[in-house]
Structure 1
């Protein structure tokens, strides 16, 4: 039975190495020729990077091949793996639709093409044999102009059948020079009734307390308990949830040791701030969600009770979940119904 919810997974980083390699074998001799064999490609694709910027460059490798024509190919394999190997019942996929449109078009033409991308991703995600509840988070991007980012918000507002929220991504150190613009964009999104999350406090460059009041969830946010714990009471008061992606911080050089996350979990639990454990870029990491759980337990970063609390938090804070509780809780009600209660 599917049991888990994944709130922070990038479409570009979700393609596992073997699937991407097979695609290149069939469609890109030039890409295959760069590597001696598959192990060489996998090592390149999944190895740790020195900085977040260097790490994010890998997204361009996948974005360039995720087009209207190819997205169904990648999404089918993504959902098949998520259902069979990860036991996912709920999945939010995030990406920047503008970056899946043809580069040769003008900006206005690419904006117009974004709706087609959202529809393709949404329709391709409806797979009866892998019944996962899915939704999309559309990412604004720190290197895209205001007009494009505003159009992404408008598209999210107009596409609520498939889209549950907006985000900002692209490297958190680039927000500072346009901070007033980001505040304006988030205010606009909230005015349209669009849910919000954002990549903040992932690295030491991503500290923007001005943006926190506009977010319903916080993408990563680990630097808050690590360096700015005085902010935790406000997060608890607003009911915000951190989307913590453990393997990412090893891959980007943000943390030296995964055990540093114990401070993150301990301080958040003490302050009453929810954490959803996520994968971020399961393909780039070659890591699936249950492994993230197991790793945190193995290193004594969290207890089994805390893991269950994080799994509950993922459903509680899921933007498009119809239940907001783990399927295991629903199953318990069926197996052990309350005395005197007749099951329909």
Structure 2
């Protein structure tokens, strides 16, 4: 059995439609009345949007119900599905903790509540019957105030038992007017020893080379090989990995056809730039990681050798994977040891 690493999955977009709809009908009368029948809700929740901003509005639907009280419910089902249906050995969950705090509180009170959210997500992610190595990436947000974003970086530094990195999310076009601010925040994070990734070069409106030197991985990054291939040597030199999420680009209107990603993979492989294939929002897309692999293979975007290279890159660039090898190598070593022991006993 193959075991995989998922490096780019949002907590808000990870809830599969059926689980979310059932929660509405058990616990939220207003949303249950809005979506009385499941097929209508699934069509609404998973259909493509015209722009990234329109697509991101769906996150607010889930964020509103992911509270300190309900997060264990959602995370247990997330981990169960990831283990049983996706064969994940490693999962990084990313989200903005501030947006899971009660919105009736003051900004300072919500900032204080963020640590509780991180603890709840961390504890809930450790499910003994579904042994997956998990960690959190805390997302700064392009539409949140500087004080909140700096507090998110500080929290990442203080909660290293559960947190492996920081990110910037919220729509890449909105970074432009505060670019110097986010450069400073990423520089601050690196000064604290925090690992970094960031939603950049996802769309043509989110291309900020000024931020690249401060990132260890690049969230999406597909516009680099598509429109700025001259940057690829620098990306390779920094050993930065692109977190490519194929279905996302169809759902956000960024690409018209997944086959357009062939140029992304070809140019990255030619330049020596690693790619980790990810889901981004597996629930929102109703697509699990093995199906992302299968779609890319079926459409001849990549071959099996490239797929294996991407799977290996995911473990190599994982921020909190605790082993030097990927699971397949560890299992192979165990089987060889057992075989040798058997032979020795038989002799």
TM-score range, shorter chain: over 0.9
Q: Tell me which residue corresponds to 1:323.
A: 323
Which secondary structure state, in structure 2, belongs to the residue aligned with residue 102 of structure 1? Answer: coil
Q: Deviations over 1:281-311 (max 9, x none)?
A: 0000000000000000000000101000000
Aligned length: 343
Return the structure number with greater helix share: 2
Q: Deviations over 1:263-290 (max 9, x none)?
A: 0000000000000000000000000000
Asked whether the equivalents of residues 140 and 169 of structure 1 are also in contact (C-alpha less than 8 Å), the reply is yes
Which secondary structure state, in structure 2, belongs to the residue aligned with residue 138 of structure 1? Answer: strand
Q: Tell me which residue corresponds to 2:116.
A: 116
Identify if the C-alpha distance between structure 1 residues 69 and 264 changes in structure 2 by more than 3 Å, giving closer, same or farther.
same
Which secondary structure state, in structure 1, belongs to the residue aligned with residue 34 of structure 2? Answer: coil
Q: Tell me which residue corresponds to 2:277.
A: 277
Distance in 2 between residues matched to 1:338 and 1:64, nearest whole Å: 50
Distance in 1 between residues matched to 2:315 and 2:74, nearest whole Å: 25
Which secondary structure state, in structure 2, belongs to the residue aligned with residue 104 of structure 1? Answer: coil
Distance in 1 between residues matched to 2:58 and 2:121, nearest whole Å: 21
Q: Tell me which residue corresponds to 2:345.
A: none
**Do structure 1's residue 181 and structure 2's residue 181 form an aligned pair?**
yes
Distance in 2 between residues matched to 1:58 and 1:190, nearest whole Å: 31
Q: Deviations over 1:177-203 (max 9, x none)?
A: 001100100010000000000000000
Q: Tell me which residue corresponds to 1:92.
A: 92
| RMSD (CA atoms) | 1.6
Q: Tell me which residue corresponds to 2:213.
A: 213
Asked whether the equivalents of residues 246 and 278 of structure 1 are also in contact (C-alpha less than 8 Å), the reply is yes
Asked whether the equivalents of residues 5 and 315 of structure 1 are also in contact (C-alpha less than 8 Å), the reply is yes
Deviates more, 1:306-315 or 1:331-340: 331-340
Distance in 1 between residues matched to 2:94 and 2:338, nearest whole Å: 39
Distance in 1 between residues matched to 2:2 and 2:163, nearest whole Å: 22
Which secondary structure state, in structure 2, belongs to the residue aligned with residue 92 of structure 1? Answer: strand
Asked whether the equivalents of residues 56 and 170 of structure 1 are also in contact (C-alpha less than 8 Å), the reply is yes
Distance in 2 between residues matched to 1:271 and 1:339, nearest whole Å: 40
Q: Tell me which residue corresponds to 1:200.
A: 200
Distance in 2 between residues matched to 1:65 and 1:35, nearest whole Å: 15
Distance in 2 between residues matched to 1:36 and 1:26, nearest whole Å: 12
Aligned pairs (5 A) from 1:57-76: 57-76=57-76
Q: Tell me which residue corresponds to 1:17.
A: 17
Q: Deviations over 1:93-134 (max 9, x none)?
A: 000000000000000000000000000000001110000000
Which secondary structure state, in structure 2, belongs to the residue aligned with residue 190 of structure 1? Answer: helix
TM-score by length of 1: 0.97
Q: Tell me which residue corresponds to 1:130.
A: 130
Displacement of 1:36: 4.3
Q: Tell me which residue corresponds to 2:223.
A: 223
Q: Tell me which residue corresponds to 2:332.
A: 332
Q: Tell me which residue corresponds to 1:287.
A: 287
Q: Deviations over 1:71-100 (max 9, x none)?
A: 000000000000000000000000000000
TM-score by length of 2: 0.97
Distance in 2 between residues matched to 1:66 and 1:165, nearest whole Å: 21
Which secondary structure state, in structure 1, belongs to the residue aligned with residue 92 of structure 2? Answer: strand
Q: Tell me which residue corresponds to 1:153.
A: 153
Q: Tell me which residue corresponds to 1:26.
A: 26
Which secondary structure state, in structure 1, belongs to the residue aligned with residue 210 of structure 2? Answer: coil
Q: Tell me which residue corresponds to 2:249.
A: 249
Deviates more, 1:329-338 or 1:109-118: 329-338
Identify if the C-alpha distance between structure 1 residues 234 and 339 changes in structure 2 by more than 3 Å, giving closer, same or farther.
farther
Which ranges of structure 2 fall in alignment gaps of 5 or more residues? Answer: 343-347
Aligned pairs (5 A) from 1:233-248: 233-248=233-248
Displacement of 1:35: 2.7
Displacement of 1:325: 3.0
Identify if the C-alpha distance between structure 1 residues 114 and 236 changes in structure 2 by more than 3 Å, giving closer, same or farther.
same
Q: Tell me which residue corresponds to 1:144.
A: 144
